Chain A
Amino acid sequence: MTLLDISELTLDLPNGKRLLDGISLTVAEGETVGLVGESGSGKSLTARSVLGLLPSRATMGGSVQLLDQSVLDASRRQLLELRRTRASMIFQDPRAGINPMRTVGDHLTETMRLCEGRSAADARAVAISLMEAVRLPRPEEHLHQYPHELSGGMLQRVMIAGALTSSPRLLICDEPTTALDVTTQAEIIGVLAEQRASRGMGMLFITHDLNLAAAICDRVYVMSAGRVEEQGDARQVFRNPQAAYTKRLVAATPTIVVRDSSTPTDAGTDAAASTNPDAAVGASTGGAASASSTVAVPATEPMLSATGISKTYTRRGKEPVHAVIDASIEIPRGGALGVVGESGSGKSTFARMIVGLEQADAGDIRIAGRERTSVPSSRVERLEHARSVQMVFQDPYLSLDPRITAGKAIEDAMRLHRRLSTTDARERVLELLEQVGLGDVHAQARPRTLSGGQRQRVALARALAIEPDVLVMDEATSALDVSVQAQVLSLVEEIRRERGLTVLFISHDLAVVRRLCDETVVMKTGAIVERGRTIELLGNPQHPYTRLLIDSVPRPEWNLDAVAAEASELEDPVAQN
């Protein structure tokens, strides 16, 4: 039975912009349908149209049928009825999606009390049973807790439980795991799949992640710029894309699957490694995996070495947090090291200490042989430290000053360090912009008018302007669309090859690290648990946590039960967390 039938849906803004252009899709009972696309493709708008959550001044065309009810011309009362009984939606960020000033119990029981007129006790009982169904550990206690007291994964379970209170026939999930860690994502997907199966709901699953869609959906629709580019069996579309857009998307999506080094990406990395013999030197001091690669080259001084770094935050009246525990890394000149970990693993703190934004409690940091452990205090020290290491931050929307043009931002950074005539500076700025694939036009542009990828290129150019010994990239591509991410990654690869830049790449994403880094270390709750050549680490992980991380990454032949088993196994020996 068809639950949802959207046909020829269009959405126009008053300014004449067409955001949706003839979308047609169906969802049947018990079916999981994926809606895949990059930002601005219209996938979220399409999903919101099902519940009548549309921009107030938009003009709609076509039709949206939810069961036997037309949504677009429903009265206000019908719309409420539809939201209360037929379809529910789970949103991307549970921390933003649940009112922070009300308790979890209030969120869960609100609609039952206010819309269905159930008694408080009755609603409470339902809420508790739903919390058990989504496997929240302590339902009674959670009822009285506020959202900030729960982790992101737990909150997303609350959101799911909240969506299920109305026993919907259709569950719409808008990027429900994008804000979560990869291991948490696997858990949440497990809960969603279980609930969908046991309730026989239809599910419309919106995601930017093709791998995830291929892993859990029966059918997918690939959207771009307000149109459906391709549709069909999920795995078929993924393995054998027909539309040009889908092909590009699949090609841009990084993967952790280790194949033979025949793919162009691997060839590029290997070429870089062979032209730059230093890059093959093992990054680890104790890792077994690097033993084989250290044979060829005599040990030279590493570009970056951090030894025994620890950082503990003490909080008044609470247990101290050991953010980083005795972490050591080494990167040879021209090498690239990936630091992989989930939120709370201490990877960002580690990066901040290397950049000199945070003082390490213990340990020693050397860059190009120079001591860089302490946080610089004077202007001279700061400048020196900055020449040693530069950082590219996660969010280019926040790391660039909105009032300063791109060219000026780069010029300012340069002039801090060197005396340059205006013409020389301009010339150099252009050179840098060209290097990151931008041009004269972009030098005059303020960040507002640039796209996310362009902004991150500007941030990269600004970091390179100082010609640092080491470039630290902290989740520098996480906020970007896959196709843009692919461009930025190949750009970094290219610069690395041409200039022998040394890169420390912090990321939660194993697939991205795989693209860029020769060596990888895995961090968990402040400690490095495994290190080695990236390909070997991915192909033959030694530590159970690394294995869990790898198996949690969605792929077409994903086995969620195995991941869950691994996760629970890991929890036993590691008492904390």
Chain B
Amino acid sequence: MTTLRRVAGKLGALLLTLFLASLLVFFSRFLVPGDPVSFLLRGRKPSPEAVAQVTAQYGLDLPPWQQYLNWLTGVLQGDFGRSLQYRQDVSQVIGDRLPVTLGLVVMAGTMIAIVGLTAGIVASLNRGKVLDRAVLIGLTVLGAIPSFVGSIVLIAIFAVQLGWFPSFGSGEGFWDTIYHLVLPSIALAIVFVVLVGKVTRSSMVEQLGREHVEVATSRGLKRGTVIRRHVFRNSIGPILTVSGVLVAGLLVASSIVEAAFGLAGIGSLLVASVDRLDFPVVQAIVLLIVTAFVVVNAIIDVLEPWIDPRAAAGAGAR
């Protein structure tokens, strides 16, 4: 009952956030210098009639709020308008490129989870020792490598020198795609591992000092069992919160990596579209990223009572 009400509340907040985001995404176009019409008619000496015709065709002569309503109605029906550059439906343009980006983000996310958690756990269990310091330094160094540098280094070593992985394109078919995405995912994951690693470490260290951990140890539970059931289990909260924030970062950073590896994903599409003032595409992608971010974080919020039962009691209790 209360769970249902909580979820309903979250859903309401989520829709409100998305609505506000849509306003921001749509109207920010009017703040950006550059006129889409001149882009559409680029290379030609447009006659006033031609300009008027294109303006009317794309609905640019309507007042902004009317344009917004038209756009929003379309978006709600899955129609994001037409791309100015590709002369195709935006949904088509994005749909073609989405699988690559999703694959990239999922693979990078998995790597971040595995490497970050392992590093954090190993460091926390060896707190103050050489291994802890080595892991922390390693994480910090990795975190200081920008994605584009990482991409170039990876290409130079594993694609050019060793020839183990392809350096370009996204391949055909499932396994080939994964094979092609290995280097890009690593390049994307590198920067974010430090975040998950450090949060895991500090969260674990905090829990390790808790009295209930000592109680569990005093009862004769094995060290591994204590770590798993009482330390790691209780550390999940902060790790998940950081992971939620990470989603947006991954999607945005994917544009750099996609450009470096010549992948046709929505990241590189976003960059290209901003460059060419292809605003329907830009709006659609930004809205997509915002939605992904908000939805992931809403899911984490809804999961919270499961992660920490005290949260279910609500702010009013005790």
Contacts from A to B (Cβ < 8 Å): 51, 53, 80-85, 88-89, 91-93, 96-102, 110-111, 114-115, 146, 148-149, 159, 162-163, 166, 315-318
Contact = CB atoms under 8 A, between A and B. Distances in A.
Contacts of B219: 83-84, 88, 110-111, 115, 162-163, 166
Contacts of B317: 148, 315, 318
A80 B212 contact: no
Interface in B201-239: 210-212, 214-222, 225, 229-230, 233-234
Contacts of A318: 316-317
B221 A100 contact: no
B318 interface: yes
Given A96-B210, A146-B309, A80 B234 contact: no
Contacts of A80: 220, 222
Given A101-B233, A148-B310, A316-B316, A111 B214 contact: no
B96 interface: no
A246 B216 CA distance: 35
B61 interface: no
A206 to B, nearest CB: 14
Contact of B218 (A51, A81, A149, A315): A51
Interface of B: 2, 210-212, 214-222, 225, 229-230, 233-234, 307-310, 313-314, 316-318
A219 B28 CA distance: 79
A101 B220 contact: no
B31 to A, nearest CB: 41
Contacts of A92: 211
Given A91-B211, A110-B229, A148 B221 contact: no
A129 to B, nearest CB: 18
A105 to B, nearest CB: 13
Given A100-B309, A101-B233, A315-B316, A81 B212 contact: no
Nearest to A162: B219
A83 B223 CA distance: 13
Contacts of A316: 314, 316
Contacts of B307: 101
A450 B225 CA distance: 40
A288 B37 CA distance: 93
23 contacts: A82-B220, A84-B219, A89-B215, A91-B211, A91-B215, A96-B210, A96-B211, A97-B215, A98-B215, A99-B216, A99-B229, A99-B230, A99-B234, A102-B229, A111-B219, A114-B221, A114-B222, A115-B221, A146-B309, A148-B309, A148-B317, A162-B219, A315-B316
Given A96-B211, A101-B233, A318-B316, A146 B221 contact: no
Closest 4 CB pairs of A and B: A84-B220, A83-B220, A96-B211, A315-B316
A247 B118 CA distance: 55
B309 A101 contact: yes
Contacts of B234: 99-101
A81 B219 CA distance: 10
A457 to B, nearest CB: 29
B210 to A, nearest CB: 7
Chain B binding surface, main DSSP class: helix
Contacts of B217: 53, 83
B211 A101 contact: no
Contact of A53 (B214, B225, B230, B316): B214
Given A98-B212, A101-B234, A318-B316, A111 B220 contact: yes
Given A99-B212, A148-B309, A89 B221 contact: no
Nearest to B237: A101
Contacts of B212: 96-100
Contacts of B229: 99, 102, 110
Contacts of A100: 212, 234, 308-310
Given A93-B211, A98-B212, A88 B218 contact: yes
A300 B310 CA distance: 51
Given A100-B310, A148-B318, A316-B316, A166 B220 contact: yes
Contacts of A51: 218
Contacts of A84: 219-220
A318 B315 CA distance: 12
A556 to B, nearest CB: 31
Given A148-B309, A166-B220, 16 more contacts: A80-B220, A83-B218, A84-B220, A91-B215, A97-B212, A97-B215, A98-B212, A99-B212, A99-B229, A99-B233, A100-B212, A110-B219, A114-B221, A162-B219, A166-B219, A316-B314
Contacts of A315: 316-317
Given A100-B310, A101-B233, A115 B220 contact: yes
A114 B230 CA distance: 14
Contacts of A149: 313
Contacts of B316: 315-316, 318
A53 B214 CA distance: 8
Contacts of A146: 309-310
A100 B216 CA distance: 13
B203 to A, nearest CB: 13
A162 B229 CA distance: 16
A174 B111 CA distance: 45
Given A97-B211, A110-B229, A315-B317, A89 B218 contact: yes
A162 to B, nearest CB: 7
B32 to A, nearest CB: 45
A91 B219 CA distance: 12
Contacts of B309: 100-101, 146, 148
A102 B317 CA distance: 18
A537 to B, nearest CB: 31
A521 B78 CA distance: 70
A53 B216 CA distance: 11
Given A81-B220, A83-B220, A318-B316, A101 B308 contact: yes
